[in-house]
């Protein structure tokens, strides 16, 4: 039999630090310039985050959403850089978490946009660390539109139980894709798009 649990035991930890799946220590109160972010770590985390704070007919991850946004941005019409920014538009959520939009708005209203500023800080450093060229206003506009379109399709299919109105974003309401397959697809798409971008520079 074990002894009585000592609830007064002091555990040393930093209240502004998270430890990632690969054992990296990320502090929210420090500069991120020395941190090298890992696409596999990002993919793993996003695959485990459920959209809509879990209020969905099935588990629907941020990773699956990110792939849908990228696929919606047709690379026959837009350059690979558009598609890559679509794929990575929620990469920061691997560290900040996926906050519901109403909750995020409320927190920002109380804190002078602290949540938005922190998300932007992480997103900017992640893209820099992954050697992704910066997006211009047009890329940001296209990604935002694709993100919103996917959001409406996902809400219809997975939350409201309505007939699927957004035909360009097929969503299976019952079957959750394999997590490992989606992670592999995410990484393959990332590497392929980055190769195309680098090839265009030559």
168 vs 153, higher pLDDT = 153
Supply the pLDDT for residue 3: 65
pLDDT band at 150 (very low <50, low <70, confident <90, very high): very high
Q: How far is CA 4 from the centre of its chain?
A: 43
**Residue 4 in this model has a pLDDT that exceeds 90:** no
Closest CA to 23 of 9, 44, 48: 44
What is the reported pLDDT for 177? Answer: 83
pLDDT at 145 over 90: yes
Higher-pLDDT residue of 4, 139: 139
**Structural contact between residues 78 and 53, judged by C-beta atoms closer than 8 angstroms:** no
Average pLDDT value for the chain: 90
Q: Give me Rg for the CA atoms of the chain.
A: 19
Q: Per-residue pLDDT for 171 more than 90?
A: no
Which is nearest to 42 in space by CA: 183, 202, 193? 183
23 vs 173 pLDDT, higher one? 23
Over the stretch 38-90, which tens digit does the pLDDT of each residue have?
999 999 999 999 999 999 989 999 999 999 999 999 877 899 999 999 999 99
Average pLDDT, integer, range 33-38: 93
Query: In the block, which residue shows the tokens 């590497």?
Result: 191
Q: Is the pLDDT of residue 1 over 60?
A: no
- CA distance readout (Å), 61 to 103, 107, 113: 19, 23, 25
What fold does the segment set 17-201 form as a domain?
Answer: Hypothetical protein af1432 (1.10.3210)
Model-wide pTM > 0.95:
no
The domain segmentation of the chain, as residue ranges, is 17-201
What's the confidence (pLDDT) of residue 172? 72
Looking at residues 125-141, what average pLDDT do you find? 97
CB-CB neighbours of 190 under 10 Å? 22
Residue count (the chain): 202
């Amino acid at each position: 039999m074990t002894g009585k649990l000592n609830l007064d035991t002091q555990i040393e930890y930093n209240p502004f630090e998270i430890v990632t799946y690969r054992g990296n220590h990320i502090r929210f109160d420090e500069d991120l310039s020395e941190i090298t972010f890992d696409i596999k770590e990002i993919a793993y985390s996003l695959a485990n985050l459920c959209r809509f704070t879990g209020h969905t007919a099935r588990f629907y991850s941020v990773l699956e959403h990110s792939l849908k946004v990228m696929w919606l941005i047709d690379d026959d019409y837009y350059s690979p850089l558009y598609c890559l920014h679509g794929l990575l538009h929620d990469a920061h959520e691997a560290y900040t978490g996926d906050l519901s939009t109403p909750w995020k708005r409320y927190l920002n209203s109380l804190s002078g946009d602290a949540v938005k500023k922190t998300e932007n800080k992480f997103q900017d450093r992640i893209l820099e660390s992954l050697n992704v060229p910066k997006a211009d206003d047009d890329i940001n506009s296209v990604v935002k539109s694709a993100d919103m379109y996917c959001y409406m399709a996902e809400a219809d299919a997975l939350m409201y139980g309505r007939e699927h109105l957004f035909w360009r974003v097929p969503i299976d309401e019952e079957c959750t894709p394999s997590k490992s397959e989606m992670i592999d697809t995410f990484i393959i798409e990332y590497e392929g798009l980055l190769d195309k971008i680098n090839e265009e520079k030559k």
